[in-house]
Amino acid sequence: MADVKVKLVKSLIGSKKDQIATAHALGLRKIGDTSVQPDNPQTQGKVKKIIHLIEVTEA
C-alpha cells in the first residue's frame, strides 16, 4: 500500500473535541505539521473527518 502525507493547514481552535483528537491521532498538533500515514481504511476515515482542516498528498 502507498502512504499519504497529511498537513495541518487550519487551526484546531474552535474545532470539536473529537476533531482535535483525530488530528492528534494523525500526529498533527500545530499549523504546518506534516505526517506520513499508511493509506488504509482507518487513515481514510480519520482524514475524511477533518478534511476541512488538512491537505492530503501522496507520499
Task: Give the domain ranges of the chain.
Answer: 3-58
Q: Quote the pLDDT of residue 58.
A: 95
Low-confidence ranges of the chain (pLDDT < 70): 1
Residues 7-17 have pLDDT tens digits of 999 999 999 99
CATH class of 3-58: alpha beta
Please name which of 14, 18, 17, 35 lies closest in space to residue 26, comparing C-alpha atoms.
Answer: 35
The answer to whether 31 and 38 are in contact (CB under 8 A) is no
Q: Quote the pLDDT of residue 36.
A: 98
Q: Quote the pLDDT of residue 1.
A: 67
